[in-house]
Amino acid sequence: MAKQEDQFKKVISHAKEYGYIFPSSEIYDGLSAVYDYGQNGAELKKNIREYWWKSMVQMNQNIVGLDSAIFMHPTTWKASGHVDAFSDPLIDNKDSKKRYRADVLVEDYAEKLNIKAEKEIAKAEKRFGDSFDREQYEATNPRVIGYREKQKSATARLAKYLDADDLTAVKALIEELEIACPESGSKNWTDVRQFNLMFGTKLGASAETATDLFLRPETAQGIFVNFLNVQKTGRMKIPFGIAQTGKAFRNEIVARQFIFRMREFEQMEMQFFVRPGEEMKWYEHWKETRLMWHKSLGLGDENYRFHDHEKLAHYANAAADIEFNFPFGFKELEGIHSRTDFDLKAHEEFSGKKLQFFDPELNESYVPYVVETSIGLDRMFLAVFSTALQEEELDNGSSRTVLKLPAVLAPVKAAVLPLVKKDGLPEIAHQIIDNLKFDYNVIYDEKDAVGRRYRRQDAAGTPFCITVDHDTKEDGKVTVRDRDSMEQERVDIDELQTLLDKKINFKHWMS
Ligand code: GAP
């Protein structure tokens, strides 16, 4: 645990030191759970957004984009259920005065049991070696069975009480499971209360005439209210999708863990409109497709797992998270939700406008069902950044800090380094940059010895260094150094574009 915490601290300080993420309004001591992206962070975030957008919109003939406003008519949020149901159950510890989400306390308790069970299994696997049969061991070992039963019972009871909105039972469950405050260690809890997560604001010049608005807590509703506009103007046929990226706002009760849970964050969402009855097929399709997208980045297949929801949101008939192995353990990275026709039907009811599709093959009109994929851009940033940051022991006994960002996402693709600041080498380096800059973000670096420059670029996440030396003037070749393997090759300046293209191009990563 201490090791994980140390790693997480390193991630946060490295993100700041290398211009990725700063606390918001830091000169005023920051603002809780709000962050700014620096010069490198803005690029990495843009590249992740683009990687998502291209794979969703550009690669799929039946998915189109949208950019809807953050402010929406206030009735939107009544129809969507957010006014009544977008709340978290909160509980305070009377001794530490810390506030928690009651459901998260129980989920963390269940996860601890899961970890215990996995530890037992790992021990047995070590003992039995190749002859180990995991399935049989899980089904017969009393300790593992005990942990799993306790885990299942806790999550099932939580889901049942939350469904019934029985907050007294949730508190009783926390007490029965003897869950203690991580801060004070005490079990002295307040009652559980519901807390709506939407931020309110006002539109209008004077207090009397102003309209109460909400900052959108998800981008999805902008898609639903534009369903017919897009369908008609784009002559879209079901099944089809609408994708958008944009800011969302939630007054989170517990906003910790850096950019994992923020109060202002960005989502990348896609609503896929399908025939009623076909939603489960598409739900499975999108679960698999989205997992493949994640895996395409090469952060390690073992770092992902699905978590199927037992407690479903008010709009869903099936839901799963893609969880990622963050520095603080496996947590939700993306949600795939089968939202039924809940949203479109609700908007029909509240607006009085029909939101239906005439299906020429069936010769009938219906309200489409929706399968949604929804991922937090900031959370994706954290997944990429925290996995990429590594300390490496080198063969010569030294070590290096390296940020192994996937090249397709790296803020700066290459640094061009003249070996010395004279003899015409800087001029050649600038010429190389001038040729490459139309396609790639390439920078110039001449300060310090070349070895130190390599280390600096390793830590900043730059996948390639291009060194111009005295031989370059004779043979027109430069040294290209690969950040991850540290291997170097001599390459003709005219071939640089092709080489970078092969390693960085979206096509290479997605195929
Ligand atoms: N439209 C469905 C929806 O919003 P969600 O599970 O509440 O579903 C989707 O959110 C994704 O948005 C999450 O998987 C997560 O990546 C991201 N997300 C949600 N709340 C967040 C927060 N407070 N800070 C950062 N990312 C958040």
Per-residue model confidence as pLDDT tens digits over 138-180: 999 999 999 999 999 999 999 899 889 899 999 999 999 999 9
Which atom of ligand 1 approaches the CA of 260 most closely?
25
The structure's pTM equals: 0.88
The position carrying tokens 């039907």 is 345
Choose the final residue of a domain: 128, 163, 194.
194
What is the β-pairing status of strands 442-444 and 414-418? parallel
- Dist. CA 99 → ligand 1 center (Å): 20
Helix count and strand count (H, E) for the chain: 18, 23
- Dist. CA 429 → ligand 1 center (Å): 44
Question: Per mean pLDDT, which range of 8-12, 26-30, 162-166 is the poorest?
Answer: 162-166
Asked if residue 56 and residue 110 are part of one domain, the reply reads no
Strands (E), 263-360: 264-274, 304-308, 318-326, 329-340, 357-359
Distance separating alpha carbons of residues 415 and 402, to the nearest angstrom:
15
Distance separating alpha carbons of residues 29 and 164, to the nearest angstrom:
42
What is the β-pairing status of strands 477-482 and 464-468? antiparallel
Listed in sequence order, the DSSP H helices in 375-465 are 377-388, 425-436, 450-460
Residue 7's CB is within 10 A of a number of other CB atoms, namely 15
Q: 3-state DSSP call for residue 165? A: coil
The position carrying tokens 């026709």 is 341
Output the CA torsion sign for 102, 103, 109, 112.
negative
- Using alpha carbons only, what angle is made at residue 288 by residues 284 and 289, rounded to the nearest 5 degrees? 115
Asked if residue 169 and residue 108 are part of one domain, the reply reads yes
Distance separating alpha carbons of residues 21 and 134, to the nearest angstrom:
42
138 Cβ contact partners less than 8 Å away, ≥ 6 residues apart: 117, 121, 144, 145, 148
Ligand 1 pocket, mutate which of 34, 265, 334, 371 (most atoms under 8 A from CB): 265
33 Cβ contact partners less than 8 Å away, ≥ 6 residues apart: 252, 255, 256, 261, 262, 263
332 lines ligand 1 (CB under 6 A): yes
In-domain check, residue 128? yes
Give the domain range for residue 189. Answer: 87-194
Give pLDDT, residue 204.
86
Per-residue model confidence as pLDDT tens digits over 193-205: 999 999 999 998 8
In-domain check, residue 268? yes
Evaluate if residue 208 carries a pLDDT over 80.
Answer: no
220 lines ligand 1 (CB under 6 A): yes
Among protein residues, the one whose CA lies closest to atom 19 of ligand 1: 376
In-domain check, residue 399? no
Asked if residue 377 and residue 290 are part of one domain, the reply reads yes
Closest CA to 316 of 267, 372, 268, 241: 372
CATH number at residue 337: 3.30.930.10
Give pLDDT, residue 209.
80
Q: Which CB contacts under 8 angstroms, 24+ apart, belong to 142-148?
A: 143/117, 144/117, 144/120, 147/113, 147/114, 147/116, 147/117, 147/120, 148/113, 148/114, 148/117
Choose the final residue of a domain: 194, 213, 235.
194
Give the chain's radius of gyration (CA, Å). Answer: 26
Evaluate if residue 1 carries a pLDDT over 70.
Answer: no
Asked if residue 356 and residue 207 are part of one domain, the reply reads yes
CA dihedral of 183, 184, 188, 192, whole degrees rounded to 10: -10
Evaluate if residue 220 carries a pLDDT over 90.
Answer: yes
Among protein residues, the one whose CA lies closest to atom 22 of ligand 1: 261
Evaluate if residue 2 carries a pLDDT over 80.
Answer: no
The partner residues of 132 in beta bridges, in order of sequence, read none
Among protein residues, the one whose CA lies closest to atom 2 of ligand 1: 374
Asked if residue 204 and residue 176 are part of one domain, the reply reads no
Choose the final residue of a domain: 164, 194, 224.
194
Confidence of residue 32 (pLDDT cuts 50, 70, 90): confident
Asked if residue 438 and residue 501 are part of one domain, the reply reads yes
- Dist. CA 389 → ligand 1 center (Å): 24
379 lines ligand 1 (CB under 6 A): yes
Give pLDDT, residue 4.
76
Q: Which CB contacts under 8 angstroms, 24+ apart, belong to 456-459?
A: 457/412, 457/415, 457/483, 458/400, 458/401, 458/402, 458/403, 458/483, 459/14, 459/18, 459/400, 459/401, 459/402, 459/403
Residue 446 — φ and ψ, nearest 5°?
-120, -5
Evaluate if residue 348 carries a pLDDT over 70.
Answer: yes
Ligand 1 pocket, mutate which of 66, 87, 267, 375 (most atoms under 8 A from CB): 267
Residue 224 half-sphere exposure toward CB, CA atoms < 13 A: 29
Mean pLDDT of 476-504: 97
Asked if residue 176 and residue 222 are part of one domain, the reply reads no
Closest CA to 384 of 3, 54, 15: 15
334 lines ligand 1 (CB under 6 A): yes
407 close to 413: Cβ distance less than 8 angstroms? yes
Between residues 511 and 98, the one the model is more confident about: 98
In-domain check, residue 82? no
Distance separating alpha carbons of residues 75 and 82, to the nearest angstrom:
10
Asked if residue 253 and residue 290 are part of one domain, the reply reads yes
Evaluate if residue 263 carries a pLDDT over 70.
Answer: yes
Mean pLDDT of 236-258: 92
In-domain check, residue 378? yes
44 lines ligand 1 (CB under 6 A): no
Listed in sequence order, the DSSP H helices in 177-328 are 220-225, 227-233, 279-295
Per-residue model confidence as pLDDT tens digits over 64-81: 999 999 999 999 999 999
In-domain check, residue 389? yes
Percent of the chain with pLDDT over 70: 99
CATH number at residue 484: 3.40.50.800
In-domain check, residue 79? no
Mean pLDDT of 420-436: 97
334 Cβ contact partners less than 8 Å away, ≥ 6 residues apart: 290, 294, 321, 322, 373, 374, 375, 376, 380
Among protein residues, the one whose CA lies closest to atom 6 of ligand 1: 335
Which atom of ligand 1 approaches the CA of 267 most closely?
12
Distance separating alpha carbons of residues 57 and 373, to the nearest angstrom:
13
Confidence of residue 6 (pLDDT cuts 50, 70, 90): confident
459 Cβ contact partners less than 8 Å away, ≥ 6 residues apart: 14, 18, 400, 401, 402, 403
Ligand 1 pocket, mutate which of 251, 332, 370 (most atoms under 8 A from CB): 332
In-domain check, residue 405? no
Q: Give the count of domains, the chain.
A: 3
Task: Tell me the one-letter amino acid at 54.
Answer: K
369 close to 341: Cβ distance less than 8 angstroms? yes
Per-residue model confidence as pLDDT tens digits over 103-139: 999 999 999 999 999 999 999 999 999 899 999 999 9
DSSP sequence for 66-82: ----SB--THHHHHTTH
Confidence of residue 260 (pLDDT cuts 50, 70, 90): very high
Token couple for 161: 């009480």
Asked if residue 69 and residue 91 are part of one domain, the reply reads no
Asked if residue 425 and residue 487 are part of one domain, the reply reads yes
Distance separating alpha carbons of residues 390 and 405, to the nearest angstrom:
10
Give pLDDT, residue 197.
93
Evaluate if residue 255 carries a pLDDT over 80.
Answer: no
- The number of angstroms, rounded, from the C-alpha of 186 to the middle of its chain's C-alpha atoms is 33
252 lines ligand 1 (CB under 6 A): yes
Token couple for 243: 């994708």
415 close to 465: Cβ distance less than 8 angstroms? yes
Output the CA torsion sign for 45, 383, 64, 321.
negative
265 lines ligand 1 (CB under 6 A): yes
Asked if residue 232 and residue 127 are part of one domain, the reply reads no
Asked if residue 208 and residue 176 are part of one domain, the reply reads no
